[in-house]
Chains A and B, each alone.
Chain A
């Protein structure tokens, strides 16, 4: 058999290579195979070249060879791996080569993703409230809405008999539990009192409705007996620090009531709309057994049976109300009034069922256990997260397409070499996914670092759920998705180049070609400007609230809580404290003009008329002493304050302007009288009444959040000992606290000394707004940072692109400033467009937010101008650096080489 020469073999190898046979494992083999075939052909007398052609024919020439190669690679199933590896190699190489853009891209995306992650975790946290209850979707709260004589009350409470009646009459209600908020109580085992907040009375069924597991004690019997209570785990730990068993021990509440501990429950999760520290048995609370359908004091929860409809149950309420409330109305308003007439007169008594899971984000009624959050915050933050992510993605797209100029030649070359468009798209997508993955890793780290600060800002305790496989999966999926999303546009944009144009240098690339790019920059800055305006507005409204004339003087007043612990010595305690020269006034009253202090209301009418629906006014009835008005710095408009000189003042009342208006006491109110029910029936069959003489009128003052309007208030000279307030002179706050505390400890040893300042308590009413303001500012700042980062890179890119142009201009005598102008002009225009676009949107959004305030700041044009100017300045500074660098460089560097 003739042997092929080395030359022949070389010829075959080269020829096969030329025909596109490049897959190494196959190459050697085929060469050998072909050589063998050629040899056998030559044996039959053919010349080498003839034999080779013959063999090639049997292989199907180039096409057949390539097909064989394709199928071989395919059969090994490794094509995907090989391609992926190649894409990865090239992607990494590109990232390294363009490290400036890569760093900016990754930083921007990472900061964006980190912000987004933090916000999303926050939103999930918000949405997880009350979900710890295994039957959460079947639990409903009875909300009540009462419209009576111009007074509109929306409360979370129902009457005492309503819950039991519903449970009795409707079989679809599986269980019912009532909770009566008691608030703060002093708790002691033997000597020292501890102050416990969040104390409630609860029906024994509370453990059937809510998932509150008992650590010790029996949930069936724990709250059945009167004078029994259950403690939360942490309260128990506080009261029994030495690991004693609390079960069966007794506690003394408010220095007088003796209760037995029958259970300890696991602390209620943070994500709950209530956090009771102890629950007393409802049996111990006399009012829970009354039959007063018009007194709403009990938060009532229903657990419906599986499949029962809340709407259908709700529809049955009017009948229930009719049966039970009408007799009460007749008794109160006269025999001719029944439910129909009552409603006809424009009044309202409505009960609705609110799903438990709606409470945290949707419920903002009177008498909530704790201030709830608001769904608008979820929307606001969600929007901010989305915006930031968008800005970051836009950066990414912009930079990638801008770089296209540099990569156009690469694309052209690849296409000429036979790359399909699909390969290029894959290549570019690979690069962006790689960037995105890198950014996600950095973002996770950043989020981890930022979480404590955010928690501090938002008042939460959110952590990154590292161990949750779902979380990891979502993060991974998202990073790939964002990579694809951000990479799609550049991928298709770049891969669409026609190689002939690119290689000839005909493509007009860079800034001028980027209509879409300009649009995206406009979009970014429009969002940034909206966020800046939002931040300014929130800050303005906050400072407006803080500085608005609120009708009293909130500064320099210290409030001591639980003053009743002092017992009979309270008055002498006050006198004792007032001996200090720095303390000017003092007043004993639990009613203060900030939310969360005592409240009480009742109906009154002008004396001399019969009480009817038309003249009854629901009045805030505040029990105060003679020094109240002076201590709180309120203003008497007409008449006089309560005084020790007038023993008849116990029958006197001071009302605010809102009350005067409601009573129609428009002129000369002093001396007029108002009346109310005195309890019981008179000899004539009518209810007894008592009357009070108006001795003075008060200038209106705010006593709830500025989200609410001022309602009628009346001050009565009565005892209310839950708080004592002192006004003191500025400058020696520490001394004042020390003096008061010393006196307290001397006169009431063993009682907890707790104080707040009135202005702090006032500020706390706007806690959520302040948090909102801060969080908003931070994220707006981040959004602008990311947008600027993108702009920075874009300008530097333009400068680089126009390197030669700048050089020539300089050689021809252009000044530095004219070149800076030239470079900044394009982006400057874009920012002006962004400003014009963003103003109407911002105006709309700001008004939407301010809507919820009764008293709101006027957002002037100045805010908008300021926001526009700020973004313009930021952009200018960002661009300025790059423009200056380009403008001041030596033209010879740019022009030396062609």
Chain B
């Protein structure tokens, strides 16, 4: 499992990318999807997830819709147009970052 310290800067990128690839998702679903993709090595904590989701929503990168499910209310997140354009940037940026890091740390990434 990766340390939360390493994840901190990439959380928004992860959320945006996951939502872009999978369309409509709700909070729990996102954590599960990330867990799946990372082969269980990234577990998003709720304490980090929801503040980040609400922040992205407030910034206009995500939009939400709520669905009543009996007693439960499920809130789905989808990415907005501005969000989509930002994802590309963020992912590119992250690739550059990895290159830099591999150069700095003198390690080859497969």
Contacts and interface: CB of A to CB of B under 8 A. Distances in A.
Interface in A15-38: 25-26, 28-33, 35-37
Contacts of A74: 51
Interface in B45-78: 45-47, 50-52, 54-55, 58, 66, 69-75
A6 B70 contact: yes
B54 A33 contact: no
Residue from B50, B52, B55, B70 whose CB has the most chain A CB atoms within 10 Å:
B50
B97 interface: no
A35 B28 CA distance: 9
A32 B55 contact: no
A32 B49 CA distance: 14
B23 interface: no
Contacts of B70: 6, 9
A29 B50 contact: yes
Interface string A29-69: 11111011100000000000000000000111000100110
A579 interface: no
A71 interface: yes
A65 to B, nearest CB: 8
A194 to B, nearest CB: 74
Interface residues of A, number: 28
Nearest to B55: A75
A650 interface: no
B27 interface: yes
Residue from B27, B51, B52, B70 whose CB has the most chain A CB atoms within 10 Å:
B51
A76 interface: yes
Contacts of B75: 28-29, 32
Contacts of B66: 28
A243 interface: no
A68 B71 contact: no
A75 B61 CA distance: 14
A10 interface: yes
A75 B72 contact: no
Nearest to A35: B72
Given A35-B72, A36-B28, A37-B28, A76 B54 contact: yes
Contacts of B58: 75-78
A13 B70 CA distance: 14
A37 B26 CA distance: 13
B50 A72 contact: yes
B40 to A, nearest CB: 14
Contacts of B73: 28-29, 31-32
Contacts of B29: 36
B13 to A, nearest CB: 16
Interface in A53-105: 58-60, 64, 67-68, 71-72, 74-78
Contact of B54 (A25, A31, A36, A60): A25
A68 B72 contact: no
Contacts of A32: 26-28, 69, 72-75
A25 B74 CA distance: 11
B46 A75 contact: no
Nearest to B27: A33
B51 A33 contact: no
A655 B26 CA distance: 110
Interface string B18-46: 00000000111100000000000000011
B22 to A, nearest CB: 16
B28 A64 contact: no
A77 B51 CA distance: 11
Contacts of A26: 50, 54
Interface of B: 26-29, 45-47, 50-52, 54-55, 58, 66, 69-75
Given A9-B70, A29-B27, 6 more contacts: A35-B72, A36-B29, A59-B46, A67-B47, A75-B55, A75-B58
6 contacts: A26-B50, A31-B73, A32-B72, A36-B29, A72-B50, A76-B55
